[in-house]
Structure 1
Amino acid sequence: MAENILSMVSLLFALGFMAIILASFWVVFEKADKPGWASLIPIYNTYVMLKIGDNPGWYLLLMFIPLVNLYAVGKMHLGIAKAFGKGIGWGAGLWLLPFVFYPMLAFGDASYLGHGGSGGSTGGQPSI
């Protein structure tokens, strides 16, 4: 009986944890002017994340090559951090502790600045 209760508690904890992560990705995508539903589609969500971080789409192919994928994933997360005005430490956090840093990025005060964190082609200034 105790094993069943422990199993149910573990399952509920895992489902809640996954819900927070999915919600975080959804909000990050929407902050970056991408459709939130795209965060739910495997492989496509990685492609969209590459685009949010201003990386070429063909980096998705690098994700399938052992060891090279470490570079591609790191570059993707660093690009996302820069696009939200964060530094290299934040990019490392997105990569190594996504369950902490993505909720902070999604539900914190970070806003999408554009590719490379420059605020788009106008350098963050409103266009006339």
Structure 2
Amino acid sequence: MEMLSAFAGYAVLGSILSAIFAILHIIGVWNVFKKAGEPGWKAIIPFYNTYTLYKISWSPMWFWISLMGTLLGAALLSFATVTVCVVIGAIIELVVFVVRFVAIYRLCLSFGWGVGKYILTILFAPIMLMVMGFDKSVYAGPVTN
């Protein structure tokens, strides 16, 4: 019984921490959007917020490539008994993973941030997006090179 109580306590704590990080993420993205000239409300709509992040940092086309790659990779990975499908699905998911890292890097470059803040954004996204939204950095537009 004690173990069940401890598990329930950890579950509640995890839920509270997840809610806090989600709220921090929304606040950060809301302010990043405002700095980039986009309406802040886009930060609360799933998928549309990611589309908008790709739009202000790189190109919306890469959002669609990332989304389709995720769906295709997940579909192929679901065929766990077919080795070729699993390998191809894993490769597609790895490519999507790299595309997302590049998108985050380009977002950092769009606000004049360097590699150090990029690494911190990878590790602590909700906090660094709040920093990006509230600091004095200026949005310079999508990175084209």
Which category of TM-score, normalised to the shorter sequence, fits these structures? 0.7 to 0.9
Q: 2:65 aligns to what?
A: 62
Q: 2:104 aligns to what?
A: 77
Q: 1:25 aligns to what?
A: 29
Q: 1:122 aligns to what?
A: none
Q: Taking CA–CA contacts closer than 8 Å with sequence separation of 6 or more, which of the two structures ends up with the larger relative contact order? A: 2
**Kindly tell me: are residues 19 and 88 of structure 1, through their superposed partners in 2, closer, same or farther at Cα, counting changes over 3 Å?**
same
Deviations 1:86-107 (A, max 9, x none): 1133223323320231121112
Q: 1:125 aligns to what?
A: none
The count of corresponding residues between Structure 1 and Structure 2 is 116
Hey, what's the Cα distance between the residues in 1 that align with 2:65 and 2:43? 20
Deviation at 1:73, TM superposition (A): 0.6
Hey, what's the Cα distance between the residues in 2 that align with 1:7 and 1:66? 29
Deviation at 1:8, TM superposition (A): 4.7
Hey, what's the Cα distance between the residues in 2 that align with 1:74 and 1:14? 22
Percent of paired sites with the same residue: 24
TM-score by length of 1: 0.74
> Rg bigger for which structure?
2
2:121 to 86, 94, 103: 94
Q: 1:38 aligns to what?
A: 42
Deviation at 1:16, TM superposition (A): 2.4
- In structure 2, the gaps of 5 or more residues are 71-91
Say whether the 8 Å CA contact 1:22–1:40 is kept in structure 2.
yes
Say whether the 8 Å CA contact 1:30–1:36 is kept in structure 2.
yes
Q: 1:121 aligns to what?
A: none
Hey, what's the Cα distance between the residues in 2 that align with 1:7 and 1:91? 31
Say whether the 8 Å CA contact 2:28–2:127 is kept in structure 1.
no
* Aligned Cα root-mean-square deviation (Å): 2.4
Say whether the 8 Å CA contact 1:24–1:103 is kept in structure 2.
yes
- In structure 1, the gaps of 5 or more residues are 118-128
Hey, what's the Cα distance between the residues in 1 that align with 2:13 and 2:98? 37
TM-score by length of 2: 0.66
